[in-house]
Chains A and B, each alone.
Chain A
Amino acid sequence: MQADESIRFSQDTGAESAGTQQFAMQAINITKRFPGVVANDNVCLNVRKGEVMGLIGENGAGKSTLLKVLNGVYPHGSYTGTLLLDGREIRPASPNDAMLLGVGYVPQEINVLKYFSVAENIFMFDLRMESTRDKPQDGRPVRKSRTPFANFSEMFRATKQLLADNRIDLNPRADVRKLSIGQQQMLMIARALAINPKVLILDEPTTSLSGKDVAQLFMVIRHLQARGVSIIFVTHKLAEIVELTDRVTILRDGKNISVYERSQYNTRKIVQDMIGRDIAAMYVKEAQTPGDEVLRVENLTVEHPYVANRNLIENVSFSVRRGEILGMAGLVGAGRSEACMAIFGMLPVKSGKIFIEGKPVTIRNSQEAVRHGIGMVSEDRKKFGLNFVWDIRNNIGISNLGAVARGPFVLKSALSRRAEKYFKSLRVKARSIDTRVATLSGGNQQKIVIARSLNSQPKLMILDEPTKGIDVGSKNEIYGLINEMTKEGVAVVMISSELPELLAMSDRFVVMAEGKVVGELAQDQATETSVMEMATTTFKTVS
């Protein structure tokens, strides 16, 4: 349609694409800075027409930042670099803008209107873009309505055609609530396709899908590819890269590391490129001789709270001893946090046994967990970690009021003394324990969260991403704190998505994938490669 025009345009603007293969989308030297961090440092991404380009990298590698640049969440001007679509520079100011220009985006989280039909979900999206629908494209019907009323028959017809064209197996009239997660994911893709995108970005589309749904999704992607749509496919899973993509771009620490053609694929090399950073001496690890077993979990299974017949975690078993740090490795969403939440009584256990110091226990709520000597630092500091209404004193003291009370009365002086003790020993940088936690930096807030857990004097400490979102200096101090805990005989279960950190700190590893334990590794067996290979195991059955 407008291809001739855009090629002419590209010859005017750039030397980049002239003479080379036709690129559907190019991101050239994208640099995006946040205060104190360069999230994308001269990143380039070139996607050919009709190609599936894999984008892979660890958490924090800069994938999401790049995607947000591509689809206009970060508007033009908030970063440096150039975006070319069909060789022509685009300057999207918003996601809607990017969409109109032809960049389709399917976010990682399922995001559908639950109380509407499939067609309404797609059409509602379309209403906002009616201005682009004035002239027919590809012989598609004009869906612009001139009345204030929705034209349902036309809407269902158009949806039916869209779904048929893209081989998506959905009923336009189906109630979205009754769709499976996989079908909802398909609906989101259909919605993105309704604008005829030139490039479709899929951000970890398989995270919540079962094996069969993944196969279905791949089929749809291949069909799109055959129709000339370019796809940017973001994933954590190596197997998917190998199966689906034509090329792969690897990012690490906000920089381009490498681009491989399909013929050059080598999983070992890809993993190395993903993780290969030098581990400096920032990890301080003092190994303790492990003592008696503190926690043992046998065949722990937790049901999905909303989806029937799905388990968040299945038959998870592991144990941890006094003075030992058990590292739980795996990708985000592998079920590590869920396993720990279940042990802490925050998620109901469907089946399985928990033993504390060899004795079987039932933990129905967090109060019982704390009574059994379990402390937990959750991944989400804002949601679970702090009471922002309160000052430091109460935030620390609340976990062990019994220690500072006489009868039902809390003795404020005793509470202050206790809070002061942790305030000092954890070297929290604040004026005093009267300071409100809302005014502290992330690292200091995290220290308060840890202090609160320590205050209940746990035998077992669960640390879920204890260094998430805090600066390097505070990270170092927190490693020191973890060492002090183990020195005092506390058993530690640590979850971290930063592999180097986990490898340096842990004595033993449990690797999880898709809600199951896929392996246990001793310290000398664990390397970034061996852990990553295990963690990217999928139980997918290709139909």
Chain B
Amino acid sequence: MKKDAEARLRSQSGSALSRFLLNPEVGVLIPIVILSIVTTSIKPSFFTWKYFSSILMGSIFIGAAAMGEAFAIMSGEIDLSVGMNGTFSGVMAAYACINWGFGVVPTLLVGLGTGALIGAFNGFCVTKLKLSSWITTLATQFICTGLAVTVSDGYPMSISSLGTSGFTRARPLGLSWLFFIFIGLIVVCDIIIRKTKFGYRLRAVGGNQEFAQMSGINVKRVKMMVFIISGLFAAVGGLFDVLVNASASSTFGVGREFRAIISVAIGGISMAGGAGSMYGAGLGVLLFHTLWYALRILKIDTNLQLVLIGFILLLSVLLDIFRKRVEARRLIGG
């Protein structure tokens, strides 16, 4: 879809610059660049690899949750449990490691399995019990929080016995292995959404559910798959936490779902469903994180930070809407 729009734009008149600016991903990049320039001009040390790499490496936690959220939102639903589902999955993995003496691979599988299971439960409630995904996943969020605290007993659970610290501390190309795994996941997600039958069906369901049904698509099955995938990515986020900290805690993923939703929204994924790009979502996460870091580096009062984040996010979404309106005018007007 995105490609088609590009192709059409290319065939039409317009300067190279305006074409470049109308690219959906560029719409997210612009505020990142502006933000970096402003921050650097105030505090030159911001423009260093040290900060840049820590922004990149720090974005993978919300990033993983945002990938799952992107699937949910593109299919026209929402998943408010991506934060606490990840936390609970991490706790379950640590529990398996500590109490059952599982090795690295089985431990990670327990974590992923827990996430997928919670996702399947969400999917069951939405497709079979016909509950709203807002209510369902909000409830699951509470359930996961409670379970995570119960299982961990409120204490951090160390997984140092797995011996993964060498892996997580390694800095290939100045970044972490987990970061490259995350990039790999974005690429896979993009391929799933744009190139597979499932991706087409998911976008059809998100674009117009009745249309999808008339096209012979099993809407319930697609939605079930979406919630399982979302649960899996929630678990990936939770496991990233566990690996980096070498321990699991019930306090890790608090509030992550809303950061994920915001990132996806500023990444240009239509909140109405049916359209968006996974790379855009990834850049949305990057924008969110750059902002977070910049405010911290500029030593802005913590409370004021939240106010500024709120306003800047609104601004970037407005910018995206404006960009889309210009694009639409060109498509129809041409």
Contact = CB atoms under 8 A, between A and B. Distances in A.
Same assembly? yes
Given A391-B4, A410-B195, A386 B211 contact: yes
B166 interface: no
Given A452-B215, A456-B216, A388 B208 contact: yes
Contacts, number: 96
Given A365-B218, A436-B331, A405 B207 contact: no
Which of the four size classes fits the interface of chain A? 35 or more
B17 interface: no
A366 interface: yes
16 contacts: A344-B214, A346-B213, A365-B213, A365-B219, A367-B221, A383-B208, A385-B211, A386-B211, A387-B207, A387-B208, A387-B274, A389-B1, A393-B4, A405-B197, A410-B200, A436-B331
Contacts of B201: 398, 401
Nearest to A402: B197
A366 B213 CA distance: 6
A370 B212 CA distance: 12
B42 to A, nearest CB: 41
B220 interface: yes
A261 interface: no
Interface of A: 344, 346, 365-367, 369-371, 376, 378, 383-391, 393-394, 397-399, 401-402, 405, 408-410, 412, 434, 436, 439, 452-453, 456
Contact of A378 (B198, B204, B214, B216): B214
Contacts of A370: 215-216
B35 interface: no
A393 B220 CA distance: 24
B332 interface: yes
* Most interface-central of B4, B212, B216 (chain A CB within 10 A): B216
A387 B204 contact: yes
Contact of A434 (B4, B208, B218, B332): B4
A391 B217 contact: no
Interface in B251-279: 270, 274-275
Interface string B210-238: 11111111111100000000000000000
B216 A388 contact: no
B82 to A, nearest CB: 24
A390 B210 CA distance: 14
B7 interface: yes
A391 B275 CA distance: 12
B132 interface: no
B210 A384 contact: yes
A440 to B, nearest CB: 11
Given A370-B216, A397-B200, A410-B195, 10 more contacts: A346-B213, A366-B218, A376-B214, A385-B214, A389-B203, A389-B274, A393-B4, A409-B197, A412-B195, A456-B216
A409 B193 CA distance: 10
B35 to A, nearest CB: 30
Nearest to B198: A408
Given A365-B220, A366-B213, A399-B215, A408 B196 contact: yes
Contacts of A369: 216
A390 B207 contact: yes
A378 to B, nearest CB: 6
B8 interface: yes
A75 to B, nearest CB: 30
